[in-house]
Copies of this chain bind each other. A is one copy, B any other.
Amino acid sequence: MPDSLRRFKAGIFQALAHPTRIAILEQMKGGELTVSQICERLALEQANASQHLAVLRHKNIVVSRKEGNLVFYSLRDPILSQVLDLMREYFQKHLQEAMALLQEEREVRSYPHRKEARR
């Protein structure tokens, strides 16, 4: 596979790599939403939501449609919903480790110089 394609893939994953953007995409599973609906449901600042939507838009992960004052966003391809569902399955399958991972991240934030456990 050419490196250009890998960079494209990496770009998509990068766009998915933020909890807020994942939350936004989950909301859009149920269909189109306006920016203010997204802000309301997720308790986001408008500017912040707009920034994250811009990231998703630039990668063509979502599409927008303007109607009067409102901009409706929706998921462009249901494959991405499937991906998020698979990830939930993965998470549940490895729930114990997943929790440990999140805990570890918290600890790293508190004590940044502690070492990884030996295997």
Contact = CB atoms under 8 A, between A and B. Distances in A.
Interface of A: 1, 3-14, 16-23, 26, 58-60, 64, 66, 77, 79-80, 82-84, 86-91, 93-94, 97-99, 101-102, 105, 116, 119
B64 A119 contact: yes
B58 A79 contact: no
Q: In the complex, which of the residues A12, A26, A58, A89 has the most CB atoms of chain B within 10 Å of its own CB atom?
A: A12
Q: In the complex, which of the residues A5, A12, A21, A23 has the most CB atoms of chain B within 10 Å of its own CB atom?
A: A5
A79 B17 CA distance: 18
Contacts of A102: 4, 7-8
Contacts of A86: 79, 82-83, 86
